[in-house]
Amino acid sequence: MENLQMQTDTKKSFNNLQIKPNDRLAITVSAEEVEAAMPFNLPFVGSNMSSQEGPIRINGTPSLQTYLVNSDGEIQFPVLGSLKVAGLDRKEVSRKLKNKISEYVQNPIVNVQITNFQISVLGEVNRPGTFIITDEYVSLPKALGLAGDMSIYGKRKNVLVVREKEDGNKTHAYLDLTDANVINSPYYYLQQNDVVYIEPNGPQRQSANYNRNASVYISIASVLVSLAVLITR
């Protein structure tokens, strides 16, 4: 029970995902008066559009347009103009927009989502790759689960997490997954574009130095010897 409470507190402390330049945000505004909220929403777009001398029709499933956070940490929002959002989390952006939209719409509801939340897991895992995260929280163990967990050659005591800051500089940390206190690390809960790298252990490093083509050469040599024996008979 104490461990569960510790994990909950860690989530609150470390994993308020802060919005960064180049993030993409899906923002929807709703209210009791639907027409009043419409000017504060981007139009939906479809995969194909056709007119044929009549009303424009959208073919396929419509998708919501997103807001790109520019290099200054701002988005261009309908009616309101430029808004600074970098450094804020989703809830803070929602409150900020709600306060401004309240001047035009009564009791607006603002929903904000980060649509480009993805992480990469590389190295000694069974399914390395880049993964789109739909949940607000993704812990290091969950990320490893998405990648099929570590292979038997992975080092659990030295997991590298690389994180890019708003200014473009990168920070990193090595985490020991066998240590219960790892949940207190600010790198335990991942952020958008984090890279997790699992180092190979000692035996795997040694096997990497072994020529992987040696077995092929041995097979070829065996065939040649067999042919020579047959020819000389």
Question: How many angstroms separate the CA atoms of 107 and 101, rounded?
Answer: 9
117 CB neighbour count, 10 Å cutoff: 21
Q: Which helix (H) or strand (E) holds 199?
A: strand 195-200
Q: Give yes or no for residue 6 having a pLDDT over 50.
A: no
Give the global pTM.
0.68
Query: For 69-96, what is each residue's pLDDT tens digit?
Result: 999 999 999 999 999 999 999 999 999 9
User: Closest by alpha carbon to 160, among 179, 148, 176, 182?
Assistant: 176
Residue 107: per-residue pLDDT: 93
What CATH number is given for 18-114 in this structure?
Answer: 3.30.1950.10
Residue spans of the domains in the chain: they are 18-114, 118-209
Kind plus residue range of the DSSP H or E element containing 34: helix 34-37
Q: What is the mean pLDDT of the chain?
A: 81
Radius of gyration over every alpha carbon of the chain, rounded to an integer in angstroms = 26
CA distances from 96 to 84, 88, 164, 207 (A): 10, 10, 25, 56
Q: What is the pLDDT of residues 187-225, one digit of tens each?
A: 999 999 999 999 998 665 555 555 555 555 555 556 555
CATH architecture of 118-209: Roll (3.10)
Residue 141 to residue 158: CA distance in whole angstroms: 13
84 compared with 2, residue with greater pLDDT: 84
Task: With CA atoms as reference, report the closest residue to 13 among 69, 89, 115, 85.
Answer: 89
Owner of token pair 């790198």 = 187
